[in-house]
Amino acid sequence: MFDIVFPPWNEDSAAEIEDLIKGYEVMAGSRMAEEAAIHIRDEFGTYWIMDGIIMRSGFRIDEAEYRDGFQATYICTAKEQ
């Protein structure tokens, strides 16, 4: 499974999101940037809560690596029942 995952919110998050949207505008134009902004703001994805979803689903997060701003790789172990 692959999805865009924002790391837990911190004091740099708003600036990082703004940079991401500006990058879309440079690479793909203003329409793509606006669509990205709408998606982040309105579509209620799993952003910022993926760690909690994984843990509540019965897994322990052994490693979480956030790269390139908004990509995450998790190594998890099923919790003992």
Q: Which string of DSSP letters, residue by residue, matches 33-67? A: HHHHHHHHHHS--STTTHHHHHHHTTEEEEEEEEE
Tokens standing for residue 6: 């924002």
3-state secondary structure of 71: strand
β-sheet bridge partners, residue 64: 74
29 or 1: whose pLDDT is higher? 29
CB 36 within 8 A of CB 16: no
**Mean pLDDT over all residues of the chain?**
83
User: Could you read off the pLDDT of 33-43 as tens digits, one per residue?
Assistant: 999 888 888 86
Range 22-29 average pLDDT:
94
| pLDDT in the model for residue 4 | 67
25 contacts 17 by C-beta, under 8 angstroms: no
